[in-house]
Amino acid sequence: MEFVIGKYNFWVYIVLMMIGFYAMIAKRNLVKKLVGMNIFQTAIILFFVSIASKKGGATIPILQKGMTINPSQYMNPLPHVLMLTAIVVMVSTFGVALALIMMIYKKYGTLEEDEILEIERNRK
């Protein structure tokens, strides 16, 4: 039980990631796939942010001149910074994918993957 509760942040991220992964693979609707992709990516953001935190009331202190710095008082800021970059990447991926979906919808008039395959098959 300790294994589950003590490391609950990892469990949450794994469960979320698997939900996203399932949607990306199993869903037939392209928008649902895309939402799955977003959940998948968000899970990774949560993972990174959670590894930065510390037990025992660590925050992000505002440093003033002459203040002594105690590393146990503040959270590691680097994962947050990395995730800001990753969020930008993910938003742009989402944007590109949505633009693609618009193109697909204009061409086929549907976003269901099996219907698109059906149209392709009939075209041959």
Binding residue (CB under 8 A) for another protein from 7, 54, 92, 118 = 92
Q: Rounded CA gap, 112 and 42, in Å? A: 24
Binding residue (CB under 8 A) for another protein from 8, 89, 114, 118 = 89
Binding residue (CB under 8 A) for another protein from 12, 35, 44, 46 = 44
Please tell me the chain's helix, strand, coil percentages from 3-state DSSP, rounded to the nearest 5: 75, 5, 25
DSSP notation for 64-119: -TTPPP-GGGB---HHHHHHHHHHHHHHHHHHHHHHHHHHHHHHHS--BHHHHHHH
Nearest to 49 by CA among 84, 20, 18, 16: 84
DSSP 109: S
Hunting for tokens 């944007």 — which residue is that?
95
Q: Does 75 interact with another protein (rule: CB under 8 A)? A: no
Nearer to another protein, 55 or 66 (CB): 55
Q: Does 93 interact with another protein (rule: CB under 8 A)? A: yes
Q: Does 86 interact with another protein (rule: CB under 8 A)? A: yes
Q: Does 103 interact with another protein (rule: CB under 8 A)? A: yes
Q: Does 30 interact with another protein (rule: CB under 8 A)? A: yes
Residues at the contact surface with another protein, assessed by CB under 8 A: 21, 24, 30, 33, 37, 40-41, 44, 47-48, 51, 78-79, 82, 85-86, 89, 92-93, 96-97, 99-101, 103-104, 107, 116, 120
